[in-house]
Amino acid sequence: MSARVAPDQVCTVTCVGAGVIGGGWAAYFLAQGYRVRAWDPAPDAEAKLRHLIDAAWPALTELGLADGASRENLTVCATLAEAVDGTDFVQESAPEDLALKRKLLADIDAAAADHVVISSSTSGYPMTDMATASATPVRLVVGHPFNPPYLIPLVEVVGGELTDPEVVQWTADFFRAAGKSVIHMEREVPGFIANRLQEALWREALHMVEAGEATVEQIDLSITDGPGLRWPFQGPMLTFHLAGGQGGMAHMLDHFGPSLLSPWTRLEAPELTPELRDAVVAGTDDEAGERSVDDLVAERDRRVVELLRAKGRP
């Protein structure tokens, strides 16, 4: 077995699947200076992939290309075996179909050299469920990106029951070396973290459209001109920390806690036990760190003002 390359020494990566997500990964890796080998069995995959990379390139150029980054470093391969030849890392981004992913991950596992880590872009399947047909599940890991992977920094990294914890750590380190913002999850949860949150919002939105409570356009406007203006800078927890005024999250939970019983969404809330309240307050205090409520308000305001100005520009 050849030794695994250090996470920051990876030169060549393979993208299996070259649709919106796989193609977005390819664009990102190219901009970071990697050599990229791509494979997708669809007949028009190469044309779509090059279209996507060309569309992404101006944004990536604006953000700054790595030394040596070039679209010339893309090799579109005719077979999976060719695509994994000489690679250090595989990112699988096939359609979201469990049977298909099981089979494909097993094929990648059979084709790739022993030292290669194989990561899946799955939006929500636990690796424990996807790795069942693979001979070497220890090197299979989830690296879940967000669309477009060439711009959105977040990658959620989590292993399955049989994944070697060193592989999970290697993958987190590799994505960090590649410039990503990584959440290294300790346990498997269907949908991971961001998609669970996003999916709860999306399902409530679908219910509202179905019930005639809001139009598609009202739903989008309610986010883009409302809470969506805070979330790029302060997540839901820090947002509510500031909703509590100088009393912060503690005041917010004590004051608005009863509204968890209100029918404000179709999702029932957990009981706000003293333990849960204290856990949320302590976590928020940890996250706020040295920053007082006044500091956080000033920080938020500065960011939101920039954002409103950016929104106002054509």
Q: Which of residues 173-232 bind a second copy (CB under 8 A)?
A: 181, 183, 185, 187, 189-210, 212-232
Judged by CB, which is closer to a second copy: 9, or 224? 224
Instruction: State how far the Cα of 35 lies from the Cα of 87, in Å rounded to an integer.
Output: 9
Task: Single out the segment in contact with a second copy by CB under 8 A; choices: 86-94, 135-143, 164-172, 286-294.
Answer: 286-294
Phi–psi pair at 79, nearest 5 degrees: -140, 160
Asked if the bond preceding 148 is cis, omega within 30° of 0, the reply is yes
Give the one residue of 1, 99, 263, 290 binding a second copy; rule: CB under 8 A: 263
- Measure Cα distances from 270 to 185, 197, 282, 285 in Å: 22, 15, 18, 21
Site for a second copy, residues 232 to 261, rule: CB under 8 A = 232-240, 242-246, 255-256, 258-260
Give the one residue of 7, 17, 148, 149 binding a second copy; rule: CB under 8 A: 148
Give the one residue of 5, 138, 151, 250 binding a second copy; rule: CB under 8 A: 151
Q: Answer whether 156's CB lies under 8 Å from 123's CB.
A: no
Work out whether 22 is an interface residue with a second copy (CB under 8 A): no
Instruction: State how far the Cα of 201 lies from the Cα of 137, in Å rounded to an integer.
Output: 33
Going 147 to 148 to 150 to 151, the CA torsion angle's sign is negative
40: exposed, middle or buried (C-beta count within 10 Å: 0-12, 13-18, 19+)? buried
Judged by CB, which is closer to a second copy: 2, or 262? 262
Instruction: State how far the Cα of 238 lies from the Cα of 59, in Å rounded to an integer.
Output: 29
Binding mask 89-128 for a second copy (x = CB under 8 A): ------xx--------------------------xx----
Collapsing DSSP to helix, strand or coil, 297 comes out as helix
Question: Minimum CB separation from a second copy for residue 69, in Å?
Answer: 16
Judged by CB, which is closer to a second copy: 19, or 86? 19
Task: Single out the segment in contact with a second copy by CB under 8 A; choices: 10-18, 35-43, 55-63, 76-84.
Answer: 55-63
- Measure Cα distances from 77 to 17, 42, 83, 92, 126 in Å: 11, 12, 5, 15, 28
Judged by CB, which is closer to a second copy: 78, or 216? 216
Work out whether 42 is an interface residue with a second copy (CB under 8 A): no
Instruction: State how far the Cα of 7 lies from the Cα of 168, in Å rounded to an integer.
Output: 11
Work out whether 68 is an interface residue with a second copy (CB under 8 A): no
Question: Minimum CB separation from a second copy for residue 95, in Å?
Answer: 7
DSSP characters over 106-134: HHHHHHS-TT-EEEE--SS--HHHHGGG-
Question: Minimum CB separation from a second copy for residue 262, in Å?
Answer: 6
Judged by CB, which is closer to a second copy: 8, or 202? 202
Comparing C-alpha atoms, which of 35, 168, 163, 36 is closest to residue 93? 36
Work out whether 78 is an interface residue with a second copy (CB under 8 A): no
Judged by CB, which is closer to a second copy: 68, or 227? 227
Residues in binding contact with a second copy, number by CB under 8 A: 120
